[in-house]
A = this chain, B = another copy of it.
């Protein structure tokens, strides 16, 4: 049952999504929605604007929360976060350490995958930590622990399944990550540039069995003349390097 405190996802007839608190009026291109009508109802209902156009009311998924953050700079995209699952087999109950919480997008992704496992996020910038904390609270997930500490200075957790790094110099964390990981555990570094990727590989290869990939999405669209890959695409986000502790 939807309460006034909930974030709801409104979808218009074209498929456009809006995430809003379930309160007051929502002004759309199709007219005004009175969100008070939604309180007390269940997700999946339809609601009409004063002009009679329908919206559906959905419970936002963790991907909806992450997409909302996308407008912020330098967010790891869901496609790249999902590769962590595909390659490491990260799963419920796992313990994760994150270096650089940024806006919390990767944090939310991983927190959902490992729930009820715990994720410990190291961050030194207070402004980032605040934004991330706000984003995480909105999403009402309670297995994230933000630590105002520099991950370059050490990792306190032991027996960790994954150390995920989205920081400029992940190579500086290699030794500490090695110590905090259990055997079979993974280190993951997201690096936008080639030079960062090379530096991390150079250091990490002595501690881990490493593998670097890029995940490239090609999207198709249908137009009058037919179906085709989109003319413009995102050609690069970042290099994803994985290392497994096996020696």
Contacts and interface: CB of A to CB of B under 8 A. Distances in A.
Interface of A: 9, 11, 13-15, 43-46, 54, 56, 58-59, 61-64, 77-79, 81-83, 85-92, 112-113, 115, 168, 182-184, 192-198, 201, 205, 209, 211-220, 222-223, 225-237, 239, 244, 246-247
Given A63-B87, A85-B82, A220-B239, A15 B232 contact: no
Interface SS, A side: mixed
Contact of A11 (B78, B184, B231): B184
Contacts of A233: 232-236
A184 B15 contact: no
A246 B46 CA distance: 10
A80 to B, nearest CB: 8
**Pairs A-B, 4 closest by C-beta atoms:** A61-B89, A193-B226, A233-B235, A63-B89
22 contacts: A11-B184, A43-B184, A54-B247, A56-B184, A56-B246, A61-B91, A62-B89, A63-B87, A63-B89, A168-B225, A192-B225, A192-B226, A194-B227, A197-B220, A212-B219, A215-B215, A215-B216, A215-B217, A216-B216, A216-B217, A230-B235, A233-B236
A247 B46 CA distance: 9
Nearest to A247: B13
A228 B218 contact: no
Given A44-B182, A196-B225, A227-B193, A235 B214 contact: no
Given A193-B227, A194-B227, A217-B215, A183 B44 contact: yes
